[in-house]
Structure 1
């Protein structure tokens, strides 16, 4: 996405990165929505969407909420297959993402390193190229991993005449493809800066994660005239508590331990579509064929256990 007109160098320097990321995600989502809207079949409505309420909407986290696994892993797997980067870079990328997802460690320096690593992969490539590849990667790795139960929840909101948005740290281009394929309204995702259609290797703000997701939802609601008290939000992760806390109808979907505890304390609704081994595997990346994944995951789990 080209640097937006409102993003002056002074504002970039003085505005919190989470706010910049949220505003950029909201602007990107609204632009995509204006250009491309769709609908899709579904079933099994939850009990609260109010038909005809055009000030209500639903916001869905993506990884392990709508889709089994993490979109960024499937994207990385597809780019590696297309020789965007080497095996060593893939192993490092997988380790970084596993650390965040399984160990729950969010050291600022580590996050910066992971962000720079991911951006270096696409720097110099055209946005149109990544979008076209993203369509192929969705068909190859993502389409069969959509949770039917969560998909039905999203469809219930659509059937009630409400807008439904994905909210994810995945690149906005990837998130928009997934939203369109599922017939959703659009997507809020991490916005990578581009100039003349070519990625610069920089982000607008920061990855759309944690507080930045809440900022994105808040910015979109303001721009679209939504009443957050009437809106719903869905996530599996305690990192999304800021987003879930914004709305009147928060849902914990396939929740991690911290979110489950938080949701029970506040009487939030819970849904879990995992069974048996699937539940045990949630959060572990699906980047098959890379030897570093198993070792990295085991180390991350060990760190997690020591910290808890």
Structure 2
């Protein structure tokens, strides 16, 4: 049994769940729509160029969640996953997950989005295990801060190594699927890197190194 590791945004789904949740928070009336979505786009454009400080994005995107209980947020995330996320899950991703599951591989999602979003989306994909950016809870409510190492760029490796140690697992024969240049550190760490609908920088690297390039729809 080997690990099959999947990035989430633009890999398993055709979109970025954090930005889609930002739009949902606008619909819920939690934020001023125009200015919030403009700032979200600016930060996500920086992510696409590999220039984002994830701490900045999380501080921005979690501000409307601060003071709300995990139960309140969970209650609103679940129907959002059904209505917004499920229609944009790549069917090819589901086929790939099923093939790994049939092979007996252990499946893990590792994402640079918040755990309050990643967990329910992974569950909708039938995946129980995930690593994501953890949110701080104090006195029963979200503070708007994160805790621990952020699962972004090299942080994905740090968190994964901690998880491997806890689970008495290893990376022998592991696969990793991602669309983003930001995941190059982890792609270089596994035996079987796969790039999915890659950005230009990742595509060039994959072509130079003979990595499989997948077009998922």
The TM-score with structure 2 as length reference comes to: 0.92
How big is the shift at 1:239?
Answer: 0.7
Question: Which of 148, 153, 159 is the equivalent residue of 1:205?
Answer: 148
Aligned counterparts, 1:74-89, within 5 A = 74-89=20-35
How big is the shift at 1:96?
Answer: 2.9
Q: Distance in 2 between matches of 1:134 and 1:220?
A: 26
Determine which structure has the larger strand proportion and give its number.
Answer: 2
Of structures 1 and 2, the one with the larger relative CO (CA 8 A, separation 6+) is 1
The yes-or-no answer on 1:105 pairing with 2:51 is yes
Q: Distance in 2 between matches of 1:258 and 1:240?
A: 11
Question: Which of 74, 79, 95 is the equivalent residue of 1:131?
Answer: 74
Q: Distance in 2 between matches of 1:260 and 1:219?
A: 29
Q: Distance in 2 between matches of 1:213 and 1:207?
A: 7
Structure 1 counterpart SS, 2:29: coil
The yes-or-no answer on 1:171 pairing with 2:171 is no
Distance 1:89 1:131, change over 3 A: farther
CA RMSD of aligned residues (A): 1.8
Residues 80-103 of structure 1: CA deviation (Å, up to 9, x unaligned): 111111124423432333322444
2:175 paired residue number: 232
Q: Distance in 2 between matches of 1:211 and 1:102?
A: 16
Q: Is the 8 A contact 1:74 1:137 kept in 2?
A: no
Q: Is the 8 A contact 2:134 2:147 kept in 1?
A: yes
Q: Alignment length, in residue pairs?
A: 217
Structure 2 counterpart SS, 1:230: coil
Question: Which of 183, 187, 192 is the equivalent residue of 1:244?
Answer: 187
The yes-or-no answer on 1:69 pairing with 2:69 is no
If you compute each CA radius of gyration, which structure gives the higher value, 1 or 2?
Answer: 1
2:136 paired residue number: 193
Distance 1:103 1:263, change over 3 A: closer
Structure 1 counterpart SS, 2:127: coil
Residues 262-305 of structure 1: CA deviation (Å, up to 9, x unaligned): 1222222221125xxxxxxxxxxxxxxxxxxxxxxxxxxxxxxx
Q: Distance in 2 between matches of 1:190 and 1:169?
A: 6
Q: Is the 8 A contact 2:150 2:156 kept in 1?
A: no
Q: Distance in 2 between matches of 1:81 and 1:164?
A: 33
How big is the shift at 1:197?
Answer: 2.7
Q: Which runs of 5+ in 2 are unaligned?
A: none
Residues 243-279 of structure 1: CA deviation (Å, up to 9, x unaligned): 11221111111111111121222222221125xxxxx
How big is the shift at 1:240?
Answer: 0.2
